[in-house]
Every structure is written in C-alpha cells, then in structure tokens.
Structure 1
C-alpha cells in the first residue's frame, strides 16, 4: 500500500520548533470548558485508507474549522514517540491524537492529553472491554475510535482441498494441519506468521502466547506473573516454532503489513492479524493470490481458542492544542455510529458499537464479525502499567532475545519478571 505524504509540511522537523505548523502554543489544560474554534489537525497512521474520506466529509461541512491530516509511520513505537515529543515541546502542532488503547493511561498520567466531558461519548453503547481503555483513575480521557481483536487468517481453499473441514483451535492442531496441507511444499509456503519484529506488535504477540497458554503477563494491578510454567510454555511455543520452521526465518521481521503481503503472495498458510486486513486481502489486486480464498477463525491456544490482546485506538485531545471546541466536535464526528459504520464498510475496522456486530445485514456482508466479537469480548489487556513505554520495551527485548536464540525462554522471562516488577505500582 503506497504511503501518503504528511499533510503538514515537514512535520517531523517542525516538532523541533516551538511553533509547530505556524500555530502558537497554548496553556489551556482542560477540554471541559474549551470554547476556541478554528483549524485543527488529526494525527494518526492510516493503513486502512479511510481517514482522508472521513476528513473530507468534515471539511466539506466545516470550511472554517478544517482538519489537516498528519499521517504518522506504520510503526506504533514511532507514532508514540512523535506524539510524546510534541507534548514535551508543548507545541500545538498536534490536536486530536489517535492513540493505541494502551497509551491512554500513560498520556493521561503525564497530562499530555485532556480529561474529556463525561457526556462526550455514548459509552453505554460500546463493548465493555473497550470502555476501560478510555479511562484513567475513573475519569474519561479518550473516545473509542476503533476496536481490535486478533483473528487467524487461513487459506480456506487449501484446507478444503486437503480434506480439512475446520480451522485449528490449538497450536498442535495447527501444526498437524500444516503438515497435512503443505507436505513437500514447505519450501514454498510456511505454516504460520504473526508480528515478531522488535516493536509493539511483538508485545502483542508475546502477550497472546502467554495468555493463550493459561499464563498472565501482569494482573489488573500491574504485578507481573511471568515466573510460572504457563508463561514458559507460551514462550516456548514461539521459540520452537522459529526453530522448526513453523514460522519462517524472515518472520522475525514481520510487522502487520509485511506479514499481510506474505500471506497474499501465498507464502503463509496461517497468519495472525487484525480485522483491517479482511477488506484489503479480499480485493483482487496484483500480487494478491488469496482474494475469495481465505477464512478467519479465533487465534489458536494451548487447549482451545487462544486469548487475543485487546487492540484498538482511542481519540484523545492534546493538552497543548488550540481550538479545543472544534476538536471535541470533530472527535465526536469521527467516533459516532455513522462514522463507525463507514469504517466497517470501507475498511473492515472493528466497530466499537455493540449493536453493529449483531445486525443480520452486516453479519451476511462481513462473515468475520461473530469471530471478531468473540475475540474482543475475551481479549486481555497488554501490560497494565502507567509506564507503558518502558514496559513494552522490556517485553520486546526479552521476547526478541528468546526468539533469536540469545537467551533461553526461562532466562528471558526471569529478567522480564524483574524489570516489570520494578515498574509495577
């Protein structure tokens, strides 16, 4: 997918200047009584391609309060760092931030984002796990934009050809199916792929491996529990998969898009990814061999379906932004039911509204919705610590060391247990 240029000229360079894109800094700290109106910016990555459409709809109706699209890199860690840099420099370059759900507490605790009015969003209409990600210490700091739950994409055509009637529910079943389907074709197609490059996606996949083996990375209080047999079995599943070729060697470089393209080229039988991929992979295009040939299922676990990491994004308001009244209205527009329907229909982004998962018309049109609803409803949060940046970096280093053979699973988990314990409240 071609990357669009940043809409605000030289944004990265501009973050070294106090003035941002020609807008003065502001000391307004709360959005509850914000009255300023005027131009704002929307800061996000956009692998779905839906953001320009939504912004155009807003801009056509609000010519005096136009939104500038500032597109960030695909790498979640880079996105976070750029947003933090903007906050620390106290510029108003960034107005509305599209935050990974695990960043809300960190950004709120550091006062990089504003507390929002309690009636800013219809929280009574969204899936339960989603609402928790928009809060910090019982107060609302974000509006749910899109949810995310992991799904297992698989070559339905190849399974049917081999006489396999159902996708796997466990890791062992997946390996058996791969042996049956691939046979002597293992040199051309690998069994499984996920996100294993050293970035946020590795934290997600590591957490899913631990949780799906019956373990727990941290509890609700942020206390780590990685010194358990369950955690070691989960880590060993990934390590063994790299050693025996279940996951290809170049899988260590996979982020979401690299893996998606490998799946579409026919290089993977199974691929773990988010729902946004469904709409992309189902369209006929050059280098896409899987349109109309794949299905989705829950990710596999040790004894049954695994536990997804809770993904998704929330919209938050930069504490140093201007024109906050406009920003609040724009956030409501981007997160309302109509926009949520459009994001589902055009980009297969997981809705935050419960009712959309159960509408018969949508279930017929998007057959993955029942799987996705179960994935989100049973999803586990990633490490629950305010110092999330430090926690995810520690997780990534430990997991990467184990996957690349620099440390054993036991040693990597032992070091990670100590590091996360130091970050716990």
Structure 2
C-alpha cells in the first residue's frame, strides 16, 4: 500500500500532463501532430507495436482476445506504428496485479494498454498509472461514458467522478442447476420470465431432496468457491449485500461497523451451512466447483458466465440449466486502460475503442465472456467480426469431468442459449460491486483471512469475528 503514498504526487502530475496533451490534441509528445501518428517523448514517430497486457483467457475458446487483436492488425496492415501485440501475464489475479504495478511504477515494461480487473481501477488511477479517458461524442459526462455500456458495468471504470478505462469483458454470478433431479422430486425447475430463485427456495429444495452431505464424495445441495482466494471475497460480498451490508461508499470510505458485519457473516454462515453446501467447497476454486457440479456432487452451482460454455463440453444438454443467482450477484470482469507513460496514447485509445465496439463485444459473448454493452443482448445486436467468428472454437475447454450417458456432449440449442443471454443481461443490470478503494488488495486479504477462519471453525463465533474484522477493515480502508 505504501507505494501509493510514496509516488502519488509524482504520478498525479504526470497523469495531469498526459491528460492535457490527450484532450488538447496539439502536443507532438502526446499525439504526434498531423495525421495522428503516435509520437515518442522527443517528437519522433513512436515505433509499434501497441502492447496490450492482459491475464489469461479462461474461456478456452481459442483466445478471443488474441483474435480481436489480429483483426485490428488486419485493418491497420499498412501502419507498423498501429500494429498491436497481446502479452498474456502468467499466474493468478494477485500475481498479475503485482506484475503490472511493478512494471508501470518502474517503467521496466513497455505497456500501452492494460486489461485491469475491475477492482484495481481505483488503485491504478490514484497512483497515476493510467490516464483518464476522453469524453465521447454521445453527450454523456466523463463518468457516464458511452451510454451503450451497461450502467453498472461502466461504473467500474469510474474513480472520483472520472472514467479511467472502458469495459472490455464483464462477469456476474449465476446459478446453474440440474433440472431433471428437481423435476424427479416434484420441484418446479422451469422458471417463468423475469423470475428467479430465492435463497429460501433453494434451501427448501435441498431439504426436499434430502441432501445432507458429510463427505466430499456425497451429493450436496449446492457448491461454490470458498477457498481462501478472491472467490471467497465474492461469495462474502454477495452475502453481505443480501443482508444490506455495504462496506464503503463510492470513494472508498468505510461505512460499516461490527454490528453490521455480524449480520453479514451470519447470512454467509447460513448460506454455507454444512448440511447444504458441498464439504469440498471450503477448498474449492472455479475449476474444482465446476467439476463437482458436472460430476454430480451438487445440484446447484454458483459460478460465472463462462461456465455455461464449459458445461456444454462436460454434460448432456438436458442435464443442466441456468438462472439468475438468488439474491444479489457480484460483478467481475476486466477494463481496458491507457497507461500514463504510453507514447502511443492516441493509437492505444483507438485500439480500445475497437476492442470494446459492439461487434467485438459480440465476439466476446460468443466466446464465453459476458459482454459489456446493452445492445449486444438485444434482438438487433451487431454480429461478431466474420474472421474472428470463424477462428473461434466452442467455448468451454474446461476441467476434464466425466460426462454421463452415451455420446459426446453437444451443448445446448439456440433457444436455450437465447434464454441464457436474456438471463445474463438481466443479471448484469442488477449486479453489485465489491468495495471501491485504492486499497483493495489489502482489503481482500484481510477479509479472506477472517472469513475463511470463521468457516473452518467447529463453533464459529460471529460476534468475535465481526469485532476483529471491523477493527482491521477500519485500518485497511484508511490506508494504514
């Protein structure tokens, strides 16, 4: 956390100069003068390529991000300075964040565009590592940006009333379930339009099914991601949101207290009661929980949108379905930002515009990501770029679970997929954010540590846990 304190003033000054150049479009050091050719710091044409740093593609769809970069390059084949290159960073989210912070602070890596987890925007913006985005021509304010972006999703790009990125691919929690098991138990599985499960209905269904697992090889009512990593933070924030507990305001100021935290922790404990949740959930991440569901060890699964494509390669179409998550669902995803030190800022901004266009967003949706634009979920959505669409393979090269029945799984049909897209669009429109703070890395580690210890305890004491968590969160959100 101290890197922000040490470098903030210096970085803010550099970011302010960079923004002035970008908006005025007159300084050769920022925009390159006539013709818009990118320039370096001495006014000379900046050499390409435009380097995009990103995490790994989890959809298994043939790297749609790489395919979109290649489409951009085909459209700018006559300009070496405008060619782009994708650099995929290894490791998990925490490792990628550390790599990007270190590279941008030291200048050791030449990145022009960074694909940031939505929770990192305040930290990178506060440190002056990324540039505010210019206001578009839609008539929207800087904080609103392009009005086609789903409002809740675009809000993840904003810090202190300024937008620092464009939404690239988003995420939201969804509920996957086994409809034939529910039907066999005379539980209504086919939901009506605009209707979705409540947690009480899920609890009632688990009781009707008579599921009370003791060992991880037994079938449970549901499973999720409770391992001590970001998945645990997401599940905890969703439980807190259902209990009406908000940890911070829009500018990262702590707004909770021990009493509120206890209410949220009690809600989480009730949700993951050992008679309802798969015992393996306490050590499960996305891959493990998806495997448990696909192999029959859970009737319900909380997971991200890419699981829909993954299940198509693991299960028969009639054996799984999807609906909105009971209660509140947390947003995930990544946003594209221009780095403060990029000598190709104008070209980098144009690349971001292309990568977040309606056509590109449709490519992302087809590949298994959730799109960030509302129009992509409508009946008149623009199709994916033809050459990108042709290069993609069906999403879902996921964990190798054993499918049941004869023949290879083929995925669900067009009607089922259209219903899935409708459900996904509705879930995104009502999703909630994790705390907005430049100290998110410290926050999530503190939360995970306390919550995981509580879940693992034989006799969990939420009064004590809430008091300790409250004390540490006050320090974290104050930057101590």
TM over 0.5: yes
Give CA-to-partner distance per residue, 1:185-204, whole Å, 9 cap, x none.
Answer: 88532222222222222211
Matches within 5 A, 1:296-311: 296-300=322-326, 306-311=327-332
Change (3 A) 1:74 1:371: farther
Give CA-to-partner distance per residue, 1:68-121, whole Å, 9 cap, x none.
Answer: 322234622222122112122222333311111121111000011122222289
Aligned to 1:341: 362
Aligned to 2:319: 293
Deviation at 1:334? Answer: 0.8
Moved over 6 A (4+): 360-363
Equivalent-residue separation in structure 1 for 2:248 and 2:255 (angstroms):
4
Change (3 A) 1:60 1:198: same
Q: Is the 8 A contact 1:219 1:225 kept in 2?
A: no
Deviation at 1:291? Answer: 3.9
Aligned to 2:18: 30
Q: Residue 93 of structure 1: which of 83, 93, 110 is its match?
A: 110
Q: Residue 179 of structure 1: which of 207, 222, 226 is its match?
A: 207
Equivalent-residue separation in structure 2 for 1:241 and 1:309 (angstroms):
16
1:68 aligned counterpart, secondary structure: strand
2:247 aligned counterpart, secondary structure: strand
Instruction: State the TM-score, normalized to the length of structure 1.
Output: 0.82
Deviation at 1:219? Answer: 3.5
Deviation at 1:258? Answer: 2.6
Deviation at 1:424? Answer: 3.7
Q: Residue 224 of structure 1: which of 240, 243, 255 is its match?
A: 255
Unaligned runs of 5+ in 2: 1-13, 23-29, 32-37, 40-45, 139-144, 384-413
Q: Residue 230 of structure 2: which of 200, 206, 213 is its match?
A: 200
Unaligned runs of 5+ in 1: 1-26, 301-305
Matches within 5 A, 1:384-423: 384-405=436-457, 408-423=461-476
Give CA-to-partner distance per residue, 1:160-196, whole Å, 9 cap, x none.
Answer: 2222113773333223312333658885322222222
2:114 aligned counterpart, secondary structure: strand
Deviation at 1:237? Answer: 4.1
Equivalent-residue separation in structure 1 for 2:185 and 2:273 (angstroms):
26
Equivalent-residue separation in structure 1 for 2:115 and 2:468 (angstroms):
32
Equivalent-residue separation in structure 1 for 2:310 and 2:114 (angstroms):
25
Equivalent-residue separation in structure 2 for 1:377 and 1:148 (angstroms):
11
Q: Is the 8 A contact 1:30 1:115 kept in 2?
A: no
Q: Is the 8 A contact 1:307 1:380 kept in 2?
A: yes
Give CA-to-partner distance per residue, 1:364-387, whole Å, 9 cap, x none.
Answer: 543123322332222222112222
Deviation at 1:146? Answer: 1.9
Deviation at 1:351? Answer: 1.9
1:218 aligned counterpart, secondary structure: coil
Equivalent-residue separation in structure 1 for 2:469 and 2:339 (angstroms):
32
Equivalent-residue separation in structure 1 for 2:285 and 2:221 (angstroms):
17
Q: Does residue 131 of structure 2 align to residue 114 of structure 1?
A: yes
Give CA-to-partner distance per residue, 1:118-158, whole Å, 9 cap, x none.
Answer: 22896111221122221222222101112222111111222
Equivalent-residue separation in structure 1 for 2:212 and 2:435 (angstroms):
40
Q: Is the 8 A contact 1:146 1:350 kept in 2?
A: yes
Give CA-to-partner distance per residue, 1:277-330, whole Å, 9 cap, x none.
Answer: 212212x3xxx1354422222222xxxxx1112222210122233433332221
Aligned to 1:169: 197
Aligned to 1:4: none
CA RMSD of aligned residues (A): 2.8
Equivalent-residue separation in structure 1 for 2:282 and 2:342 (angstroms):
38
Q: Is the 8 A contact 1:232 1:413 kept in 2?
A: yes
Aligned to 2:403: none
1:125 aligned counterpart, secondary structure: coil
Q: Does residue 75 of structure 2 align to residue 61 of structure 1?
A: yes
1:30 aligned counterpart, secondary structure: helix
Change (3 A) 1:420 1:73: same
Q: Does residue 51 of structure 2 align to residue 41 of structure 1?
A: yes
Change (3 A) 1:368 1:234: farther
Change (3 A) 1:237 1:111: same
Q: Does residue 198 of structure 2 align to residue 210 of structure 1?
A: no
Q: Is the 8 A contact 1:203 1:395 kept in 2?
A: yes
Q: Is the 8 A contact 2:443 2:477 kept in 1?
A: no
Q: Is the 8 A contact 1:298 1:371 kept in 2?
A: yes
Equivalent-residue separation in structure 2 for 1:149 and 1:226 (angstroms):
27
2:423 aligned counterpart, secondary structure: helix
Deviation at 1:352? Answer: 1.6
Change (3 A) 1:269 1:57: same
Q: Residue 129 of structure 1: which of 136, 152, 155 is its match?
A: 152
1:225 aligned counterpart, secondary structure: coil
Change (3 A) 1:30 1:74: same
Equivalent-residue separation in structure 2 for 1:277 and 1:184 (angstroms):
25
Deviates more, 1:329-338 or 1:262-271: 262-271
Equivalent-residue separation in structure 2 for 1:142 and 1:307 (angstroms):
25
1:207 aligned counterpart, secondary structure: helix
1:224 aligned counterpart, secondary structure: coil
Aligned residues: 388
